[in-house]
Amino acid sequence: MLSLLRKIERFFRNTIGWNRIGMMLSLGIIAVAAVVLYRTLRDTDVREVVAALKATKLHQIALASAFVVIGYASLTFYDLFALRTVGFGWLPYRIAALTGFTSYSIGHNVGASAFSGGAVRYRIYSSHGLSAVDVAKVCFVAGLTFWLGNATVLGLGVLYVPLAASAIDQLPIWLNRTIAVGILAALGSYIAWVSSAPRVIGKGGWQVQLPGGFSTLIQISIGILDLSCCALAMYMLLPDEPNIGFVYMAVIFVTATMLGFASHAPGGLGVFDAAMLVALWQYDKEELLAGLLLFRLLYYLCPFVVALAILGAREIALGMRAPQEQGEPEKIEVTAPIRSEIEVIEKTDAG
């Protein structure tokens, strides 16, 4: 079986290329989402959407905002954990918090977060002595934390309410439950693998020691906290009726988020929304659309503006500090013996 998988991997790598496959997959997801959005929203009454926005209760927005703040605070622990894992634990939390918040805020909105967020990380961490390879290691560990959290939430959630996953992937309940068991089995095997001995991946100068068993559980906890807060923020903005239950909605939310992430569209725009509109068919379309718009405002736009303001202020401060640190050129005092030697040299040159 392993030999067959390797042959398939070599075939795709040599004939098509993984980059092209990834691009085709992203374009396919975006195309399907565009068709779904068109069919879903073509008869939408904009006035009803505006009315639903105005009817949203203030305490719903306040609770959603609070969960967004907690969610972004949890994102700072992605970088803090990654820095300590790759050997830069001496960097203070405030640097990890600044980098984690700004990189994810910008990465969520710009799209292709591995590159856009990585560029922000490099800009900040390089000023504290980290090389491009060091930043790549931090990005890898932070990404691993994200995917471990996703795998855990999806595995447990789909196992508990497989019908929620069926609302998006249209697969039979028994098959979704089987997939969930497979995800959890793979996750358990990974934890057992890193617990049994120190595990190092990479070659040459790019090597990362994977977190051990206990540290992996911490990673998973960070990911669960992040995803739970995001899902709770969305849950607060849903219409009051019908009450579908938080776990059901969380499975749909995480699946829609992963589809948006796979599309590489800025903020999963269109893809995330199409998946949510299709899966949460129980709700009034205009009211659900109003909730999605508010979620985008709170979770994407507001942090993006704050992150840009913080980075802009930081760049201005660094620009003002640089001339002050350089100061005036140091004046070298010429002593008498040195002056006489200079005069001898000048006379020799003149002769």
pLDDT in tens, the chain (351 residues): 445 545 555 655 556 554 565 556 556 655 655 665 556 566 666 787 788 888 889 999 999 999 999 999 999 999 999 999 988 888 999 999 999 999 988 887 776 666 778 888 988 898 888 888 889 899 999 999 989 998 999 999 999 999 988 888 888 999 999 999 999 999 999 999 999 988 888 777 778 889 988 999 999 999 999 999 999 999 999 988 888 889 999 999 998 888 877 776 776 777 888 888 888 888 888 889 899 999 999 998 899 999 989 988 888 887 777 565 555 444 444 444 444 544 544 444 444
How far apart CA 81 and CA 96 sit, in angstroms, is 9
The burial class, CB within 10 Å (0-12 / 13-18 / 19+), for 317 is: exposed
Q: What is the DSSP letter of 127?
A: G
- 245 phi and psi, to 5 degrees? 95, 145
How far apart CA 290 and CA 118 sit, in angstroms, is 32
Model-level pTM? 0.79
pLDDT of residue 343: 53
Query: Other CB atoms closer than 10 Å to residue 293's CB: what's the count?
Result: 17
How far apart CA 309 and CA 105 sit, in angstroms, is 12
How far apart CA 198 and CA 213 sit, in angstroms, is 10
Residues in the chain: 351
Computed on alpha carbons and rounded to an integer, the radius of gyration of the chain in Å comes to 26
Angle made by CA atoms 112, 140, 1, in degrees to the nearest 5: 95
Contact in structure between 120 and 311 (CB atoms under 8 Å): yes
pLDDT of residue 178: 94
Would the CA dihedral through 104, 106, 112, 117 be positive or negative?
Answer: negative
Residue 45's SS3 state is coil
